[in-house]
Structure 1
Amino acid sequence: MKFNFLLLTLLFLGSIGYAQTKIGGYVKDTNGDPIPFVNVVFSNSSEGTITNDDGSYYIQSDKSYKSVVFSFIGFKSKKIDLESSTTYKMEIILEEEENALSEVVIYQGKTSKKNNPAIDILKKIWENRRENGVKKFDQYQFKKYEKQEFDLNTIDSSLVNSRIFNGMEFIFDQTDTNTVTGKTYLPIFINEAVYKVYGDNNLNEEKEVLLGNKNSGFSDNQTLIAFIKDLYADYNVYDNYLKFFDKSFVSPLSTTGVDNYNYVLADSTFIDNKWCYKIVYYPRRKNELTFKGDFWVNDTTWAIKNIKLQVTKSANINWVKEIYIEQDFKVLNDSVFLITRDHFMSDFAFNKKQESRGVYGKRTTLYDDYKFDIEKGSAFYKERADPYQEYVYDRDSTFWDNNRLEGLNKDEKQVYTMLDTLKTVKAFKRLYNIGSVLASGYIEFDNFDFGPIFSTFGYNDVEGIRVRMGGRTYFSRNDPWRIEGYTAYGFKDDKFKYGIAGKWLLDRRSRLIVSGGNRRDIEQLGASLTNTNDVLGRSLASSSLITVGSNTSLTDINLSTVSFELEPLKNFNIRIGGSYRTLKSASDQFSLAYFTDEARTQTTNEITQTEISTILSYSPGRKTSGYGVDRTIINDGDFARLFFNYSLGVKDLIDSDFDYKRVQFFYRQPWQVGGFGKLTSTFEAGKTFGEVPLGLLNVVPGNQTLFSIFGTFPLLDFYEFVTDSYTSLHIEHNFNGRFFSRIPIVRDWNLREIVSIRGVIGDISEENQLLNASTSNPVLFAPSEQVYWSYSVGVGNIFKVFRIDAHFRGNYFDNPGARSFGVTGSFGFYF
């Protein structure tokens, strides 16, 4: 979906604007070295910017200015007269002050932490730190208008004349220049939304009611809109760390800011009849997740009146060249500061070179009509309405004229009309279809999607080369029902396999869903400790093209399921279902055999089992998009997940073989550890009560592939450990380059250090061991004497897309074929 969003933005339309003064260029010292973080301000104004790491700058204004001033610690200020309203490639040379303290101060611009008036003001901000103004009242409500926009940037002749835009040249008729970066851009998508927000601080509740939504021609783009919104999540500049794109940036208002930023008291003046100080700040070191910019702060309440934040180009973040934030606040009753405007802009690109082409993502949020201490009661916040109100997406022009807190400019209005024309162009349709395939993995036909194409080929030791074809019904993203299926063929075992499943959303409010299906296939069981009977599920371990040693421990499975599920509370799901399955070995080199009599003289290699399960899952903080039977998770990996499963095996029900009870618990929690990166912990525990054969036991998941598979133990072979009770813990910490950023040369590679440790302890009863009839492959053995553990060290962000991990076994070296060391890798697009 992330790729879909980038690709969609390459396809659309036009814009215009007008600025009266534009300048850009570089600032260097007398040796020709660039000077970062130089203040560039139009004379006799507060409009300015700060140079980038490479000394480059760009600034524009709607006003006409005749001169600009360049200033920086340790250098003589320089005033330059402007001969024209547009001046690019200005190269400015700043000379050292004669009384500069030292070369370190001159070239690095370090400011003192002592006797610095700017830091004295910063301490006052800490002492009077406040939450957003609405938190000072028992209840609050306000209107919120949100405008999201995508722009294609760096428009030049090579792009305009590119063959990819044949037939769509008209979209380049009008372009404009971005006020932050100086790049030409072309608006290509816009979405508007109006909300009424209610909150109760005593109940710790907040409710957001969508009043209207309008976008540039996409009637079915809730996922795109929600994804964009999640990228620019809410934030509070007073917090020590601000989270964007799954990264924690140090706030310039942080109590640890003096260790990460230089601060300079630059100006003071009246703003809205309040005396305010202007503080300029910039990073102490390169490659860290920090900002540069300035803020105005009131001299009595020490509250922020205006703040600008811009991420430095050296920051260790992928696919994002620029992040620019600006917030404005108003004063209520001389004491409480309420946010009135929040603007967030990012420049997405494949690299950070100045000339690289990319996409601007912009979100502007305006707040108005504040009201306080109007009690609504707890029932108001708990009331669940139909989440999809169709009329909200069909508001007329009168509604938007009355509810926009900021009018659309000429260019934004043009987006709405231009897209309708573009959608009729064959070249556009062709590009759109390519983007859709790359994003979803499916080829779209009328009401049917073919795919996923990325699962077409696979390999394992039983099937050999495996080919697969499948598809699903698809009328819209909000389909109340869906049928999907596949068929596969293995060239080595010369057998066809298939799977088919269907589900129907009976009630959208409670998300009551009935589903069922059947699958006959070859599968690697035991690929995870905690699992469900997913009819169409398949693990990477079943079809990995590259493995460590041979793997014949695959199972021939015939699985039928039916279930009912509902969501009585947000992100809390209850599922009750039943399954019927037969399991048998898919290879003569692997055995699922068990004894069928007490004398242990008769065996069978096939298990027939009926099971009833109750599953409770809770995912606080999960964000989804769509209102149909299928929903898209838009913040995957960024929320906690709790899972509890109680299963009951029923003997003799539809020829079922065993009676047993099983309980399983899973808890996964990501933790943002400030400037030290992200830690993810996963805890699993389970127990099976009753006598069951190997096919129904809990296998500690090994990994014999060269790919990193979440939840597995990378140095264990399949079926190396088998349990009927287990406890497992996996902790992984990604430092996001915290230490690499301090090593010269290495820090320029933007690598990220990752460490992890895994452990599992379990047991298997004597009764279950005696039930097993296999004597060689596998031999049932559990890590009961001591915790099996291993640890890993890895390097991520190699060429921005690759991660490699080295794994070290901690014990159980005497196990047959035990691997003490291994390496796995993975690909992925991460910010």
Structure 2
Amino acid sequence: MVAIERGALILSILFVFASVGLKAQTTVTGTIIDKESKDPIPFVNVVFAGTTVGSVSNMDGNYKIQTTEPYTQVQFSFIGYKTVTRSIKPGEENKIDVRLEPEATLLNEVEVTVDNKREKYRNKNNPAVDLVREMIDHKRQNRIESYNFVEYEEYEKLQMSLSNVSNKFKERRLFRKYKWLFDNVDTTAIEGKALLPIYLQETISDKYFRKSPEKKKTVQKAHQKVSFDDYVDNQGLSTYLNYLYNDIDIYDNNITILTNQFLSPIADAAPTFYKFYITDTLKDVTPKLIELVFVPRNASDFLFQGKLFVTLDSNYAVQKVDMTVNKNINLNWVRELYVEQDFEKGEDSKYHVVKSRMRADFGLSKDRGGIYGERLVSYKNFTINNERQDSFYENKEQSSATAEAPANKDINDESYWLEHRHDSLSRAESKVYQNIDSLQKMPSFKRTMDIATLLLAGYKSFGWWELGPVNTFYSFNPVEGFRLRIGGRTTTRFSERLYLETYGAYGFKDEKWKYYLGATYSFTGKSIWQFPVKSLRVAYQHDTKIPGQELQFVQEDNFLLSFKRGVNDKWLYNDIWTVDYLNEFDNHFSYRLGFKNWKQMPTGGLYYTIQNNETSTTIQELTTTELSLELRWAPGEQFYQGKSYRIPIPNRYPIFTMRFIGGVKGVFNSQYNYQNLALNIYKRVYLSQFGYTDIVVEGGYIMGKVPFPLLAIHRANQTYSYQLQSYNLMNFLEFVSDKYVSVNFDHYFNGFIFNKIPLLKKLKWREVATFKILYGSLRNENDPYHNASQFVFPVNDQGVPTTYSLTNEPYMEASFGIANIFKLLRFDLVRRLSYYDHPEVPKWGIRGRFKFDF
């Protein structure tokens, strides 16, 4: 559920007006072959006659170009062949296959050798590959990291637009009130596309880099952006969009774009995955440049295709990059993707990037409306080897900001931006700030966004109060039967510092009320959702719970989770008082101090019983008081703040979480002394063309003599929803331990296998595989089979135990899944690999989840 909430919330604003409208387009497609050999010809220039609008043919000779302008002719040209011009019908789809005729050259003597075989591409004795290897060898000296000190000014512009906005679309009844907005459609920015800007953010920063010891510093001098404060997390939206449109370094081995890793055309392993061709030599510039064309050996791999312009001097540096991706790549929602970079020669004769532009067009289908996004980054005042003191990098308050632009301050003064932005805005872009501000003041737009927020996030706002989440209003379970719940919480319109939340629920089978009351106070004076948080929360809850069920980013009484496999009758009634203090720091280290008084009462098929010889004693309730400390460090962490959960945006850094819980006997009727220590480490490992792996390592140790409800009840899942951090074929309360260690592997192949299978690659499915292993044990003092004073493990209706400790054998399960089904669904075939002799346990299962990815 987390992925669908993240993607839906972030893109909901952008897709509000995106629909099926299509501006009348001229489309020309076809195949180009050699007239004599009948072989396809790659890299043929295909343009609308008299313009520079066009493309080149791919390795199979196929091409496609589009425009909304009324051009009537298309021109085909390639070195060594006669240029061909063909007529087309404007506003229609044109299919034109072309046979290019080699240019005739008169020679005194000609020797002709007929070879019907197409020459096989080889790396050996290939001057293009030799050039690439020189570039690889010189990468270190061409990177910014080769300097001891570097500083420069960076201007960033990130904009999103509705694309292919047709007149038919604009005339719909739904949008009649917004005709003034559609007057801002831009048909000049990108040939063949009608764009309506709906989001824009600009940032000017000073960047500093020190090589040894490595240190980076950013001083933000000015920032402005379109704001959707009432509906989404603006800071999180900016973070997520920058995550999609990542910084690009052509000298990196792997380039991350749209959450995927692409192998750079000058990566160390590039000659293994790419084909290279020298197509031109530019002799009228200094130094001379080589035009180098590169294409993937396998068109379905996560690779680029395009051109590099390489300097023919001692640097072998990149002077210009123009590249895109093959349309056969399994990129979700992405119709087009382009990367352009320009480099400039510095005073030290080395080349550094001065402009980087990335463009992407998203949509549900090839031709209908969608979202166009562009990130432009330009660099000025590039200075090298300007040594600064260590204190400069450590002092975050120190800045080089000008008087007109204080550091880290939003600036909406257009006169400042006219003077300082590196690149001027288009007419349409210059109006987007005012237009979106006016749009959000319209009652009809507010109603539309309220409905979108209700459907996607589950909350309906009523100003200072919001009702939700709606997916918990109705559910059912064996203990409560039919359960109704209603609740809500205050918003920042009520108070920036104080946040209140409550709900009430009623079970029609047990005929009991459940409820929750909570209050959170923010010491920062900002929302309790705004990083960094410093808050105190006090809450009381009287409700039901399944022992051992811990869900990620999902409410436990979600309606869809009411459907469970097997026997699900072991529940608890809980009375829980909590006091929680959270303090987060800018470096993403945080600590949490907690107090918890917990009274648990077994219900349904769960009983707390002590069996001593022939005497059986039933315990009606168990009370504990706990003091806790949690330390968390997530270096470089980025996230999107949803309506209910903070949703992390994975990066290459690990996340460490350590928890200590101490039970204190005698405090507020607490019955036990114990100490619980646990450590969790999460790391995403990127494997370039082979996808990425999420690894979670966790271990814990409980000191003290406690009954099974206070042991580590391992996370089980009896729902049909695949839970990443739970054991999906383990029964609730099946295993308990007082010491354990577990490792989870979730590998995402990103279509690496399916993309090479002709029938499957059209579906754009993606393979996933998981493996989970859990080791644990139980000391004799906590094992009811060795200590008669402990609670007896639960049993089923036949008196067979259903709770166990892990023996010398670990619990294991593995799965293979297919993701990206209909671009939203993932299904896993899960196999349990141990402990088959336990009652009511399945060996196989199919589980599904929503997953929104690019």
Give the TM-score normalised by structure 1: 0.88
Q: Which residue in the other structure is 2:164 paired with?
A: 154
Q: Which residue in the other structure is 1:617 paired with?
A: 632
* Higher mean C-alpha displacement, 568-577 vs 720-729: 568-577
Equivalent residue runs for 1:385-534 within 5 Å = 392-475=409-492, 479-507=496-524, 511-528=533-550
Pair 799,10 (structure 1): closer, same or farther in 2 beyond 3 Å: closer
Once residues 124 and 764 of structure 1 are traced to their aligned partners in structure 2, the CA distance between those partners, rounded to angstroms, is 60
Q: Which residue in the other structure is 1:134 paired with?
A: 144
* Higher mean C-alpha displacement, 186-195 vs 23-32: 23-32
* Higher mean C-alpha displacement, 124-133 vs 322-331: 124-133
Once residues 398 and 592 of structure 2 are traced to their aligned partners in structure 1, the CA distance between those partners, rounded to angstroms, is 21
Which of 804, 809, 814 aligns to 1:791? It is: 814
Which of 2, 7, 11 aligns to 1:6? It is: 11
Pair 384,502 (structure 1): closer, same or farther in 2 beyond 3 Å: farther
Q: Could you tell me which runs of 5 or more consecutive residues in structure 2 were left unpaired when the two chains were aligned.
A: 1-5, 19-24, 103-111, 400-404, 526-530
1:189 and 2:192 equivalent? no
Equivalent residue runs for 1:100-249 within 5 Å = 111-130=121-140, 133-177=143-187, 182-216=192-226, 218=228, 221-249=234-262
- The aligned amino acid for 1:514 is L
Once residues 419 and 654 of structure 1 are traced to their aligned partners in structure 2, the CA distance between those partners, rounded to angstroms, is 55
Once residues 144 and 204 of structure 1 are traced to their aligned partners in structure 2, the CA distance between those partners, rounded to angstroms, is 20
Which of 608, 620, 624 aligns to 2:623? It is: 608
Pair 629,817 (structure 1): closer, same or farther in 2 beyond 3 Å: closer
1:146 offset after TM fit, Å? 0.8
Q: Secondary structure at the match of 1:281?
A: strand
1:828 offset after TM fit, Å? 1.8
Pair 581,193 (structure 1): closer, same or farther in 2 beyond 3 Å: same
Pair 210,47 (structure 1): closer, same or farther in 2 beyond 3 Å: same
Pair 539,188 (structure 1): closer, same or farther in 2 beyond 3 Å: same
Q: Which residue in the other structure is 1:676 paired with?
A: 690
Q: Secondary structure at the match of 2:649?
A: coil
Q: Secondary structure at the match of 1:330?
A: strand
The answer to whether the 8 A contact 1:740-1:752 is kept is: yes
Q: Could you tell me which runs of 5 or more consecutive residues in structure 1 were left unpaired when the two chains were aligned.
A: 14-21
Once residues 100 and 164 of structure 1 are traced to their aligned partners in structure 2, the CA distance between those partners, rounded to angstroms, is 66
The answer to whether the 8 A contact 1:12-1:188 is kept is: no
1:282 and 2:295 equivalent? yes
Once residues 102 and 474 of structure 1 are traced to their aligned partners in structure 2, the CA distance between those partners, rounded to angstroms, is 74
1:26 offset after TM fit, Å? 2.0
1:270 offset after TM fit, Å? 4.9
The answer to whether the 8 A contact 1:24-1:56 is kept is: no
Once residues 101 and 591 of structure 1 are traced to their aligned partners in structure 2, the CA distance between those partners, rounded to angstroms, is 84
Once residues 39 and 505 of structure 2 are traced to their aligned partners in structure 1, the CA distance between those partners, rounded to angstroms, is 62
The answer to whether the 8 A contact 2:817-2:829 is kept is: yes
- The aligned amino acid for 1:206 is K
The answer to whether the 8 A contact 2:817-2:827 is kept is: yes
1:625 offset after TM fit, Å? 5.9
- The aligned amino acid for 2:246 is A
Q: Which residue in the other structure is 1:17 paired with?
A: none
Which of 373, 377, 382 aligns to 1:370? It is: 382
- The aligned amino acid for 1:323 is L
The answer to whether the 8 A contact 1:296-1:307 is kept is: yes
Pair 229,510 (structure 1): closer, same or farther in 2 beyond 3 Å: closer
- The aligned amino acid for 1:746 is L
Q: Which residue in the other structure is 2:792 paired with?
A: 773
Q: Which residue in the other structure is 1:317 paired with?
A: 331
Deviations 1:414-457 (A, max 9, x none): 22333344334443333332333344321122122221223322
- The aligned amino acid for 1:40 is V
Pair 417,824 (structure 1): closer, same or farther in 2 beyond 3 Å: closer
The answer to whether the 8 A contact 1:645-1:665 is kept is: yes
1:27 and 2:30 equivalent? yes
Once residues 478 and 673 of structure 1 are traced to their aligned partners in structure 2, the CA distance between those partners, rounded to angstroms, is 46
The answer to whether the 8 A contact 2:464-2:494 is kept is: no
Pair 233,660 (structure 1): closer, same or farther in 2 beyond 3 Å: same
Deviations 1:270-310 (A, max 9, x none): 57632111111222223222222111111111111110121
Pair 154,55 (structure 1): closer, same or farther in 2 beyond 3 Å: farther
Q: Which residue in the other structure is 2:106 paired with?
A: none
Which of 813, 827, 830 aligns to 2:850? It is: 827
Deviations 1:45-82 (A, max 9, x none): 998632468934337899x999844339xx94534389
* Higher mean C-alpha displacement, 78-87 vs 772-781: 78-87
Which of 56, 60, 69 aligns to 1:50? It is: 56
Once residues 680 and 461 of structure 2 are traced to their aligned partners in structure 1, the CA distance between those partners, rounded to angstroms, is 36
- The aligned amino acid for 2:276 is Y
Equivalent residue runs for 1:65-104 within 5 Å = 68-71=75-78, 76=81, 78-80=83-85, 89=94, 91=96, 93-95=98-100
Q: Secondary structure at the match of 1:469?
A: strand
* Higher mean C-alpha displacement, 170-179 vs 662-671: 170-179
Deviations 1:671-709 (A, max 9, x none): 111111111111111111111112211112222121111
Q: Secondary structure at the match of 1:738?
A: coil
The answer to whether the 8 A contact 2:657-2:681 is kept is: yes
The answer to whether the 8 A contact 2:221-2:407 is kept is: no
Pair 593,132 (structure 1): closer, same or farther in 2 beyond 3 Å: farther
Deviations 1:329-380 (A, max 9, x none): 11113532211111111111123x2x12100011111111122333444443
Pair 467,210 (structure 1): closer, same or farther in 2 beyond 3 Å: farther
Which of 693, 706, 717 aligns to 2:731? It is: 717
Q: Secondary structure at the match of 1:707?
A: coil
* Higher mean C-alpha displacement, 340-349 vs 159-168: 159-168
Give the TM-score normalised by structure 2: 0.86
Once residues 50 and 271 of structure 2 are traced to their aligned partners in structure 1, the CA distance between those partners, rounded to angstroms, is 30
Once residues 412 and 215 of structure 1 are traced to their aligned partners in structure 2, the CA distance between those partners, rounded to angstroms, is 11
